[in-house]
Structure 1
């Protein structure tokens, strides 16, 4: 069982859900400045999603944990991330499968699914640990009103 602490996102929502997952995947960074990361190599990524909202759905969930696993873990586990050309590509650095981009792309995937739910939960943070000593947190910018 994973027992990790993640950076907190301060918010005013009534419910906060966190889902941990492990994803074993390979990748490479298609750029000459990537050094040895330009070669295919693998990681066991530890991913945490923070999802918030004020209303539960008709089954009593903010979001069903099984859906989150399907959207992220089942899609990427035991794959070469670069092969997911609908998500990553080797032409634009904003789409290379770096840990930063992986975190952002996971947020985009999850939030796209959340947007169609009637209770409108929000993904506030995606935490991706690539190695025991390196991790990235992605939080979308809040819209200024």
Structure 2
């Protein structure tokens, strides 16, 4: 894989883990305003997930890289994102499978797993490249990144 340069997130944690992966998926944006993107089409997405924390587990990992791959690649590779009704739908723009929303969902999925592990690791950034020239960076709110609920 070619060395990538990513935007960085300032954080107070001792460890930062980055996992690169790609997955092929189809989608369409269920809006008349989406132009040609309202038609079913596919991408080879490239994702970089950044996780930070202070505590390692009993194997010396912040998080096992293979777990992050299972959470993202194994779930979405060779699927239609619109078929993942738990995360995406046509009922609200925040549920359309746009690159912005997919990046947010990936972060939420990873964070849910981290919360279940109880080690206080945080998913602090997801970079999702849809094409060679277009990508989105998603970062949860500051409070969420540092383990607190965001304020409304």
Quick check: TM above 0.5? yes
**What are the residue-to-residue correspondences of 1:41-52 with 2, within 5 Å?**
41-52=41-52
Report if the CA contact (8 A) 1:27-1:41 is conserved. Answer: yes
CA RMSD of aligned residues (A): 1.3
- Pairs aligned (count): 145
Separation of aligned partners in 2, 1:61 and 1:2: 24
Asked if 2 retains the 8 angstrom alpha-carbon contact of 1:57 and 1:118, the reply is no
- Rounded Cα–Cα distance in structure 1 between residues aligned with 2:108 and 2:2: 24
Which residue matches 1:12?
A: 12
- Pairs within 5 Å for 1:117-136: 117-136=117-136
Moved over 3 A (4+): none
Give TM-score, length-normalised by structure 2. Answer: 0.92
Matched, 1:64 2:64: yes
5+ residue gaps in structure 2? Answer: 144-149
Deviations 1:15-73 (A, max 9, x none): 00000000110100000000000000000100000000001011110000111011110
1:8 is paired with a residue of what secondary structure? coil
